[in-house]
C-alpha cells in the first residue's frame, strides 16, 4: 500500500508540475469568464433556479449600495468572535465586496463595481496591524478566502480599479493576512485547515504567485486524505504528518468517533456546520484548481462524492448505529452546490441524495467563506453533463 501511494503521489506531482507551468487563468478564483457567461445565459433564458438565486443576492443586505465599509486598523477575534473587534465587520465587508463583484459582472452596472472597489480600498488603506486573539488565524483565513474572489473579478473584468489601488490591495493580502494565517497550529481541526489552504490558494492566484499556489495544492492533497475517511485508508483515519496521532488520541481528535464509515469527516461528530466549513473549503480549492488546469476533483473523487452523499443523508435521516453516539447537530445548508455541479453536471455522475437535498434548499446564501453557490454554480437541469471547455 505504501509503495502504491508513493508511486501515485509521484505521478500526481509530475502531472501537477506540467499543469502549473502555464500562466494563471484570470479571472480564475472559483469562477472564470466561461462560468460567468453561463450564469448570464441562464438569467437571459429565465432559468428559475438562476433567477431565484440572483434575486436573493440582489435583495441581500450585502448588495446594498448605501452601506459604508467599516475597516479596522487591527482585528481582534476570540472564540466565537468574543471579543469581536472588527471580526464581523471584516467578514461582512468581504462578503459584500464579493457580492457586488458578482452583481457587477452579471449586470454590467458600474455602481456595483464601484462599491466593491470602495470596500476593498477602505480596508487596504486602513488595516495595518493584522489580526490578534485566539481566533486570529481562522478569522484571517475566512476573510482571505473572500477578498481575492472579489478582487479577481474586478481586476480582470473592469477598468475602474486603478492599478495602484489593486497593487495596494495585493500588498495587504500578503502583509496583513498571510502571516496571521501561517500562525495556525498544525493540529487545528478540519475546517480551520481547509480555510487556511483556500485562503493561501486564492491569494496566490490573485498575486500570480505560482510557488505559493503549488504549496497550497500540496497541502490540500494531505488534508483531503486526513480529514475524510475511506476504508481504503486502513482501520483508522490517516493522520497529518505535522500532527501525528494514533489510537485514543486519534479517536479524540475525531470527536470520539472510532471505526468511522466511508465519508465520515473529522468534525462530523462535533456538528454538521463546522463539517460544512471544512468540506466547502476542500471543494472550493478543487474548483479553483480545476479552473487553473489541475484536476483535484478526480484525485479524490471517491472521497469527496462519498462525503457529500454521506453527510446530506445524516442531515435528513436517522443516524446509522455507532455514529456520533446517536446524535449529530448543526446544518450543512449553503454549500455543496459547487461539488455537485462538478460531479453531476460536468462528469455526469449521479449523486441522488445530494440532488434531492439541494433541490429543496435553493437558492442558498451561505455563511462566512461559502456564499451564493446556487447563483454561481447551480442549474435548472443539474444532472445534464456539461463538457469542460479546453
387 in any annotated domain: no
Q: Determine the Cα–Cα distance for residues 109 and 358; give it in Å rounded to an integer.
A: 30
Kindly report which listed range (7-11, 41-45, 111-115, 377-381) carries the lowest average pLDDT score.
Answer: 7-11
Q: Is residue 390 part of a domain?
A: no
β-pair type (84-85, 131-132): unpaired
Residue at 7 is within a domain: no
> Does 389 reside within a domain?
no
**386 located within any domain:** no
| Residue 388, domain member (yes or no) | no
Higher pLDDT, 40 or 16: 40
Mean pLDDT of 233-237: 96
Encode pLDDT of 134-191 as tens digits. 999 999 999 999 999 999 999 999 999 999 999 999 999 999 999 999 999 999 999 9
Residue 383 lies in a domain: no
Q: Tell me: pLDDT of 241 over 80.
A: yes
- Name the average pLDDT for the chain: 92
356 within some domain: yes
- Average pLDDT in the 311-325 region? 89
At CA 284, angle to CA 278 and CA 290, rounded to 5? Answer: 140
Q: Does residue 20 have a pLDDT over 60?
A: no
Find the domain containing 230 and state its range. Answer: 14-377
Instruction: Read off the CATH number of the domain in which 275 is found.
Output: 1.50.10.100
- Structural domain count, the chain: 1
Amino acid at each position: 500500500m505504501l509503495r502504491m501511494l508513493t508511486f501515485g503521489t509521484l505521478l500526481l506531482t509530475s502531472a501537477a508540475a506540467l499543469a502549473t507551468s502555464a500562466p494563471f487563468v484570470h479571472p480564475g478564483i472559483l469562477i472564470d469568464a466561461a462560468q460567468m457567461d453561463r450564469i448570464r445565459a441562464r438569467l437571459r433564458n429565465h432559468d428559475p433556479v438562476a433567477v431565484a438565486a440572483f434575486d436573493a443576492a440582489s435583495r441581500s443586505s450585502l448588495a446594498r449600495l448605501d452601506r459604508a465599509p467599516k475597516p479596522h486598523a487591527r482585528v481582534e477575534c476570540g472564540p466565537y468572535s468574543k471579543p469581536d473587534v472588527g471580526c464581523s465587520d471584516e467578514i461582512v465587508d468581504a462578503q459584500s465586496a464579493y457580492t457586488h463583484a458578482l452583481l457587477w459582472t452579471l449586470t454590467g452596472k458600474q455602481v456595483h463595481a464601484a462599491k466593491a472597489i470602495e470596500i476593498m480600498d477602505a480596508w487596504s488603506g486602513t488595516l495595518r496591524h493584522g489580526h490578534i486573539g485566539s481566533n486570529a488565524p481562522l478569522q484571517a483565513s475566512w476573510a482571505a478566502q473572500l477578498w481575492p474572489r472579489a478582487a479577481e473579478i474586478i481586476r480582470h473584468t473592469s477598468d475602474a480599479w486603478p492599478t495602484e489601488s489593486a497593487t495596494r490591495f495585493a500588498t495587504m493580502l500578503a502583509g496583513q493576512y498571510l502571516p496571521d494565517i501561517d500562525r495556525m497550529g498544525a493540529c487545528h481541526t478540519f475546517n480551520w485547515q481547509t480555510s487556511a489552504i483556500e485562503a493561501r490558494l486564492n491569494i496566490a492566484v490573485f498575486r500570480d504567485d505560482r510557488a505559493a499556489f503549488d504549496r497550497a495544492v500540496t497541502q490540500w492533497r494531505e488534508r483531503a486524505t486526513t480529514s475524510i475517511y475511506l476504508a481504503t485508508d486502513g482501520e483508522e483515519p490517516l493522520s497529518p504528518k505535522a500532527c501525528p496521532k494514533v489510537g485514543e488520541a486519534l479517536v479524540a481528535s475525531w470527536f470520539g468517533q472510532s471505526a468511522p464509515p466511508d465519508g465520515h469527516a473529522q468534525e462530523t461528530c462535533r456538528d454538521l456546520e463546522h463539517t460544512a466549513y471544512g468540506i466547502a473549503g476542500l471543494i472550493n480549492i478543487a474548483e479553483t484548481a480545476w479552473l487553473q488546469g489541475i484536476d483535484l476533483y478526480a484525485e479524490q473523487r471517491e472521497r469527496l462524492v462519498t462525503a457529500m452523499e454521506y453527510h446530506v443523508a445524516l442531515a435528513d435521516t436517522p443516524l446509522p448505529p455507532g455514529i456520533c453516539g446517536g446524535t449529530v447537530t448543526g446544518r450543512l445548508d449553503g454549500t455543496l452546490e459547487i461539488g455537485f455541479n462538478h460531479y453531476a453536471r460536468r462528469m455526469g455522475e449521479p449523486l441522488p441524495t445530494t440532488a434531492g437535498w439541494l433541490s429543496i434548499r435553493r437558492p442558498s446564501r451561505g455563511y462566512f467563506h461559502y456564499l451564493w453557490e446556487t447563483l454561481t454554480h447551480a442549474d435548472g437541469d443539474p444532472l445534464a453533463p456539461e463538457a469542460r471547455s479546453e
